[in-house]
Structure 1
Amino acid sequence: MPIRLLTLDLDNTLWDTDPAIARAEQITHDWISSHCPQAASFYTLDAIREYRQQIAECYPELAFRVSKLREEVLRRVFLQSGLEREQAALMARQAFQVYYRERSNVSLFEGAREALETLASRYPLMAVSNGNADLDIIGIRHLFAGHFNAEQVGAPKPQPEIFLTAVRAAGVNATECLHIGDHQQQDIAAAHRLGMKTIWVNLGDAPWTEESCRPDQEITHLAQLPAAVQVLADRNT
């Protein structure tokens, strides 16, 4: 079965997510300190992080709605700091936008942009992510035919719906799709169960531990990605 669609994970596949999120959270807390000092003194950055974890555990339906979760936590922080309901909601929206812009201020891994440009000239690319990065802010939206995240679809990886949404949007079968990602369970095993071909992006040279399957290809640098895709394309023509 020929390859007609490539789906790609984003966070920790194309860039390192943790530093961007940590920086975005700090910048957001600095903004809160400037615009609502009582909220910043009432909730330190670590306290907000802990509070967000508590809310996610209490409301599982918010756990994968990462944008909604963050804004709701901010709204509650402002409410508990003495703001009126409407003002708290407004401040939460503004604070979240500060976070969101910086969260998407990422540095692509070496070789990522060149690999995406090469692949986008050969295949439609669909981004499938549990995160909420903004491809326009990052500057790579033009390389993707579509972008689906867990919050938008209503289900996170490794559930199948996010993959199937991309497959349906492209008008192909899952068996004609190749998924590329870094996470053994959420990316490789989940896509494998749907009959997709897979490439594991293993930039940290980690051991493979998932027992249910093996990736069809493995790369340790994104410059290797176009060649790995070509190997599978040749194998499936």
Structure 2
Amino acid sequence: MVIRLLTLDLDNTLWETDPVIVRAEKATHDWIAEHAPQAASFYSLEALREYRNQIAECYPDLRFRVSKLREEVLRRVFMQSGIDRDRSAQLAADAFQVFYRARSDVTLFEGAEASLQALAVQYPLMAVTNGNADLQLIGIEHYFQAHFSAEDVGAPKPDPALFQAALKSAGVDASECIHIGDHQEQDIVAAATLGMKTIWVNLSDAAWAHSDVSPDQEITHLSQLPAAVAQLVQDC
């Protein structure tokens, strides 16, 4: 079987995500303190994080709609601080854009862009992610032919919907695709269950935890990715 598509996870596969989110949340709170100080005094940065978690628990349909969740939480915070409905909605939209730009200010792992550049001239690349990073803001959108998020598709990995959207868009079968990602369940197990080949990006040298499914290839540095793809193609 010929490999006709590569799908890639983004967060913690191509860059480290947690520090980016922490910086983005602080930038957002700083913006709120400047433009709506009554809201910033009403909710500290830590309280704002806790409130977001509470809203996610109360409204499960918002958990994977990560952009909508953050903007809705901001809207509620502004209203609770005494700002009228229309102004709160506008402030929430503006504050979310501050978060979104900072959230997409990432530092790619060493070897990531060189690998994307090498692979993009050989195969169609499609991003499949539960997150909301902006490939254009990051500056790597030209390597990808499509970008599918859980928010757009309506379900997060490990639900098959994201993978199926990419396969349908490319017009390929699961057996003609290699999925590349860091998360054992959401990426490797989910993709393998659909019949896709898999490459586990194991940058932390973690132990594989599943006895019934294993990745077809494992890499510990992004510079190893083109060779891992080539080996899988040879094996197909």
- TM-score normalised by structure 2 residue count: 0.99
% identity of equivalent residues: 68
User: For 1:189 and 1:58, how far apart are their aligned partners in 2?
Assistant: 29
The answer for the alignment partner of 1:105 in structure 2 is 105
Question: Given residue 165 of structure 2, which amino acid in structure 1 is its aligned partner?
Answer: T
The answer for the alignment partner of 2:65 in structure 1 is 65
Q: What aligned pairs does 1:7-86 form with structure 2 within 5 A after superposition?
A: 7-86=7-86
Residue 218 of structure 1 aligns to a residue whose secondary structure is strand
Q: What aligned pairs does 1:107-122 form with structure 2 within 5 A after superposition?
A: 107-122=107-122
Q: What aligned pairs does 1:1-237 form with structure 2 within 5 A after superposition?
A: 1-236=1-236
Residue 180 of structure 2 aligns to a residue whose secondary structure is strand
Residue 24 of structure 1 aligns to a residue whose secondary structure is helix
Q: Give deviations 1:148-172, integer Å, cap 9, x for gaps.
A: 0000000000000000000000010
Residue 21 of structure 2 aligns to a residue whose secondary structure is helix
- Of the structure 1 ranges 38-47 and 203-212, higher mean CA displacement relative to structure 2 is found in 203-212
User: For 2:187 and 2:212, how far apart are their aligned partners in 1?
Assistant: 13
- TM-score normalised by structure 1 residue count: 0.99
User: For 1:80 and 1:90, how far apart are their aligned partners in 2?
Assistant: 15
Residue 6 of structure 2 aligns to a residue whose secondary structure is strand
Question: Given residue 148 of structure 2, which amino acid in structure 1 is its aligned partner?
Answer: F
Question: Given residue 191 of structure 1, which amino acid in structure 2 is its aligned partner?
Answer: A
User: For 2:15 and 2:174, how far apart are their aligned partners in 1?
Assistant: 26
User: For 1:203 and 1:67, how far apart are their aligned partners in 2?
Assistant: 27
8 A Cα contact 1:101 1:137, kept in partner: yes
**CA apart distance, 1:11:** 0.1
Aligned residues: 236
8 A Cα contact 1:16 1:107, kept in partner: yes
Question: Given residue 88 of structure 2, which amino acid in structure 1 is its aligned partner?
Answer: A
**CA apart distance, 1:212:** 2.8
Question: Given residue 48 of structure 2, which amino acid in structure 1 is its aligned partner?
Answer: I
**CA apart distance, 1:211:** 2.8
Show structure 1 runs of 5+ residues with no match.
none
Residue 74 of structure 1 aligns to a residue whose secondary structure is helix
8 A Cα contact 1:52 1:69, kept in partner: yes
Q: Give deviations 1:173-208, integer Å, cap 9, x for gaps.
A: 111010000000000000000000000000000000
User: For 2:107 and 2:235, how far apart are their aligned partners in 1?
Assistant: 33
8 A Cα contact 1:189 1:212, kept in partner: no
User: For 1:78 and 1:210, how far apart are their aligned partners in 2?
Assistant: 45
**CA apart distance, 1:21:** 0.5
